[in-house]
Structure 1
């Protein structure tokens, strides 16, 4: 949204709204198309991380309601409790929000008027060159890949599957690419907290469709226009 609006809209969309509003499965998983359809058709309110933590702080409409936890791999300097430990108990998916948090600032207090959406198409791309072009044209893209048990022990470097069984599928945000010591990689933002692995990111081999990560990526079109949903609807009516 920030890139598409050329910096005019620098706000995060609510993971609470999108994750639990776009799909009834919630924490049970979903696919990478549904969130974009939800944002386009119904819009998403703004929201930050648990209790206003994270770079955008507090005061947005609907922050994520589940606490930070340590997910997989070495604990390292991660200050958050491991899954199942005190402070990170197993929980069911929360309901999608229908109103803003009690501590939301005045500019983000009204749920209906805080919804952001886009007018335009979603795009998909696959393969190394196609994904590079998509990122160059419009910024980060969403993808999914197969997680093997050896990825759960990843702590840094360029990952490639060596051993272990399938643990499940996982959706992530691909933000760029590079080369280190002759090995090509994708740089990917994970959702397992900012202390995990490489400050919340990981690198994975590029060009060999590691874990199916190059099968398909999804994003809004570079020509899509982002704005408050109410403003977009008013323009359409006019």
Structure 2
């Protein structure tokens, strides 16, 4: 009888006996009829379910607002949410709307429509404009992406840059030639991805540095000129150690 009621109107779940709140199928049926049911105490378990909430956010950005407080505070969950629906940035906490990685993921997914929900100072950053974000093939830290190692690099007399790259440690290798004036880290990432057959998605770009092991450059290095980043001593103030797997 209760199942028939929620099939007719999801909000009918509020009248269900407490001992039915643990009936996941019943609660799911109510949520299918009305997302607002996620605010009911009976749906508390679903709002803590990371995978379930990501699917709801994929369907509707406003579902982010129904996620449990601990998920909304979890930066990794927020990044994952932006990857499925950048418009969810509208409902993110202020600290996350000021987070460059979070905003970048949101803009990559939803363009200008997401950027307008970023903190004011980030809305004006050139690297976070939709065209720049789309060109940037570098993954943010923690994102699943192919790892590309830059094993060596040198500048030729004609100004071209020669580099050796590989997929992870001991993976497929390729030689790269970057032509043009002042190529950037982003140019290197694009060239390496193309030569190594990473047809879509993003990459982690890593370089070998004496004394630091393998260090990853972040998505926010994309507009940096190679001559600046790879000059000695290396400017790695915003890079981080990277554990490599093939």
TM bin, normalised by shorter chain, reads under 0.3
Between Structure 1 and Structure 2, the one with more strand by share is 1
| TM-score, normalization by structure 1 | 0.22
| TM-score, normalization by structure 2 | 0.21
